[in-house]
Structure 1
Amino acid sequence: MINTATNGNYANVNGLKMYYEVYGEGKPLLLLPGAVSGIGTAFGNLIPLLSTDRQLIALEFQGYGHTADIPERPLSYEQFTDDVIELLHVLNIRQIDIFGYSTGAGVALQVAMRKPALASKLILASVIYKSSGRHPALIELEKQLTAEAMKGTLYEAEYLSTAPRPQDWSKHLAKVTTFNQKVQDWSADDIRNIKAPALIIAGDADIVQPGHVVELYKLLGGGSIGELSMPDSQLAILPGTMHTALTKKTNLLMAMIPDFLSTQ
Structure 2
Amino acid sequence: MTHATTTDGVRIAYQLQGQGAPLVLLAGQANNHHWWDQVRADFHPARSTLTLDYRGTGDSDKPDAPYSTELFAEDVIAVLDRLGIDRADVYGTSMGGRVAQQLAARHPHRVAALVLGCTSPGGPHGVERSNDVRKALAQPRPEAARQALLELMYTPRWLDSHPGPHHTLGDPGMPAHARRHHLAASNRHDAWELLPDIAAPTLVIHGADDLLNPAANAPLLADRIPGARLELIPQARHAYFEEFRALAGPLVLDFLTTAPSRP
Please give the range of the TM-score, normalised by the shorter of the 2 chains. 0.7 to 0.9
Alignment of 1:5-84 (within 5 A): 8-14=1-7, 15-40=9-34, 42-71=35-64, 73-84=65-76
1:24 Cα deviation after fit: 0.7
Residue among 209, 219, 238 paired with 2:214: 209
In 2, Cα distance between the equivalents of 1:44 and 1:156? 10
1:84-103 superposed matches below 5 A: 84-103=76-95
For residues 77-105 of structure 1, give each alpha carbon's deviation from its aligned partner in whole angstroms, at most 9, with x where no partner exists: 12111211222122221111001011111
Cα offset, 1:218, TM superposition:
1.4
Which residues of 2 match residues 215-226 of structure 1 at below 5 A?
Answer: 215-222=220-227
Inter-partner Cα distance in structure 1 for 2:46 and 2:251: 15
How many angstroms apart in 2 are the aligned matches of 1:221 and 1:144?
Answer: 40
1:130 aligned to which of 122, 126, 145: 122
Tell me how far 1:173 sits from its aligned partner.
Answer: 3.1
> Tell me, which stretches of 5 or more residues in structure 1 are unaligned?
1-7, 161-165, 223-232
**Aligned to 2:52, what secondary structure does the other structure show?**
strand
Q: Please give the alpha-carbon distance, in whole angstroms, between the structure 2 residues aligned to 1:244 and 1:17.
A: 28
Distance 1:145 1:28 in 2: 42
Tell me by how many angstroms 1:202 deviates: 0.8
> Superposition pairs for residues 241-252 of structure 1, below 5 Å?
241-252=236-247
One-letter amino acid matched to 2:63: I
Letter of the 1:124 counterpart: L
Distance 2:140 2:24 in 1: 27
Task: Name the counterpart of 2:171.
Answer: 159
- 1:145-202, Cα deviation, whole Å (9 max, x unpaired): 9966449974599734xxxxx3x544443333333443x33233x3112110111111
Q: Which residue of 2 aligns with 1:116?
A: 108
* SS of 1:133 mapped into structure 2: coil
Q: Does 1:259 find its partner at 2:263?
A: no
* Count of aligned residue pairs for this structure pair: 237
Aligned residue type for 1:101: T
- Preserved CA contact (<8 Å) 1:202 1:208: no
The CA distance in 1 between the partners of 2:206 and 2:41, in whole Å, is 22
Aligned runs of 1:229-240 on 2, under 5 Å?
233-240=228-235
Determine what percentage of the aligned residue pairs are the same residue.
24
Determine the structure 2 residue equivalent to 1:175. 181
TM-score, normalised by the number of residues in structure 1: 0.79
Change (3 A) 1:28 1:155: closer
- Greater RCO structure (CA 8 Å; 6+ sep): 2
**Structure 2 residue ranges without an equivalent (≥5):** 148-163
- Which whole-Å CA distance do the structure 2 matches of 1:194 and 1:216 have between them? 11
TM-score by length of 2: 0.80
1:98 touches 1:121 (CA, 8 Å); kept in 2? yes
Change in CA separation of 1:82 and 1:208 when aligned onto 2, cut-off 3 Å: same
- Aligned position for 1:4: none
Q: Secondary structure at the match of 1:49?
A: helix
The alpha-carbon deviation at position 61 of structure 1 amounts to 0.4
Alpha-carbon distance between aligned partners in 2 of 1:145 and 1:119, rounded to the nearest angstrom: 41
